[in-house]
Amino acid sequence: MLKKEYKEEKEKLGMRLGLLQRKLKDVKIPVLIVFDGYDAAGKGLQINRLIQTLDPRGFDVYTGDRDGEEERMHPFLWQFAIKAPADGRIAIFDTSWYKRVQMDRFDRKMKEKEVEAAFADILAFEKQLVDGGCALIKLFFQISEKEQKRRFEKLESSDETSWRIKKEEWERNLHYEKYEKINEEMIERTHTPYAPWTVIDATHKDPAALAVMRTVADAMEAALKAHETERVPEVYEGPVPPDKYKKGILSRTDLTKSMEREKYEKKLDRLQKKLERLHSELYRYRIPVVLGFEGWDAAGKGGAIRRLTSHLDPRGYKVCPTASPNDVEKIHHYMWRFWNNFPKDGHIAIFDRTWYGRVMVERIEGFCTEDEWRRAYEEINDVEAHLVHSGAVVLKFWIHIDKDEQERRFNDRMKNPEKRWKITEEDWRNREKWDQYEEAVNEMLERTSTKDAPWIVVEGNSKYYARIKVLETVVDALEKKIKDVEKAKKKHG
């Protein structure tokens, strides 16, 4: 390509991209652009050429192939989920989550089970981004074995650039055909209608730059066109009987279960000492734990959490109270604020109210569309599966009380000046929608209780009984996980 032709075409595409960026910002469409491909294919150069056409106030560029301590101690999708773009902004990744089924798969010789889990997690993650309104653009930069070797040698010949080539990269070049098969499988398995790959021949830099700009511009225009077209809600199931979830799991809960104070105090002391010991083991084996608490207002979530944490090392856990999303959280995917609080290895995150607000409060109060909350069941299951695939223990508690018990506790709080702050007008209004919430909870419990991330319905009319059940459940789950980890370590030496 002649330089003159390149400059003329680049100028046209640059003007087009700048205009599209402004339009996307106006209609609040987030854009995420993935630059992946072979080592030394020129991803950094092509990112630089692309961003020269954009307003620098509207994009962020991230490097996804440098795992620091924080990245290594979280699920592999974490570092990308927390950097997902806000509405109207552009996020650009130089190497992305695909390193898990590309570089990591080759370098670490991952087990097939791990590879399959990673593919499932990636596909689910991308679908959530796109379903949430994000324009996802995936670019793969291709160069030949010979061209890659030539570029490696050129980089190594200079003191200023030799540091950029590592032995792992030479190893992948040495076994180019094997690595090529891994890349081909990756593209084939993740090339979807909602997130297709575009393969760029990166042998010559100028034509590659134009191909990048055209692809990005076309994808941006397609996102704008889709935004202007009325979306047809996805069909998730056939007709549902109107009373299907009215008499569900909650109606079968025995709320007469109780416990005497003396027995409660003995069990509480024993379980809290166990938790103190187990917490050290969690840190030793780098096991993350996610505990979610949901339930009726005044059901006793706070009391259960206090007893759960009383003997834990405060440096190793965090309680995350969930309120209405703030202005920053509202311009991100609804799971974004929870990704930011998921624990690193060896730590515990305790959520007082969770991401399940999507299928309860947001559903009933009309803060999201029916299409959005129906889609959320699968999205939530996928996120929790990713946490479990990454080694986490995930437990979710619904603390159940009856309507009469709730009213009694409300009135007790109103009479007590020290507890009156706990009751709001919204709490009383929610009581009027008890039947709607009960139906939503029954559906939630049925659709999102999985083998790896189960719901535990806690009989809560007796606070003593409820607190002990929560602690016993957590202790049992942690002991089982630690035994499984110890067994695996012995098996593999």
Question: Which domains are assigned to the chain?
Answer: 3-228 (3.40.50.300), 255-491 (3.40.50.300)
The H or E element that residue 32 is part of is strand 31-37
Low-confidence spans in the chain with pLDDT less than 50: none
CA nearest 195: which of 142, 129, 121? Answer: 129
Phi, psi (degrees; rounded to nearest 5) at 396: -130, 125
Secondary structure element (H or E) that encloses residue 281, with its range: helix 261-285
Question: Exposure of 85 by Cβ count < 10 A (0-12 exposed, 13-18 middle, 19+ buried)?
Answer: buried
Are the beta carbons of 360 and 444 closer than 8 angstroms? yes
419-478 pLDDT tens trace: 888 788 888 888 999 999 999 999 999 999 999 999 999 999 999 999 999 999 999 999
Can you read off the two tokens belonging to residue 435?
């039947």
pLDDT in tens, 457-469: 999 999 999 999 9
Positive or negative torsion for Cα 182, 184, 189, 192:
positive
CA distance 392 to 434: 33
Specify the pLDDT at position 422.
79
C-alpha triplet 357, 363, 369: angle, nearest 5°: 120
Alpha-helical segments (H) within 370-433: 370-389, 403-415, 425-431
**Phi and psi at residue 90, to the nearest 5°:** -120, 130
- Predicted TM-score of the model (pTM): 0.92
Q: Which helix (H) or strand (E) holds 329?
A: helix 327-330
List, in sequence order, every residue forming a beta bridge with 192; answer none if it has no partner.
none
Give me the helices (H) in 157-204, please. 167-174, 176-190
Sequence-distant (≥ 6) Cβ neighbours of residue 415 within 8 angstroms: none
pLDDT of residue 231: 62
Place of tokens 């630089």: 48
pLDDT at 230: 64
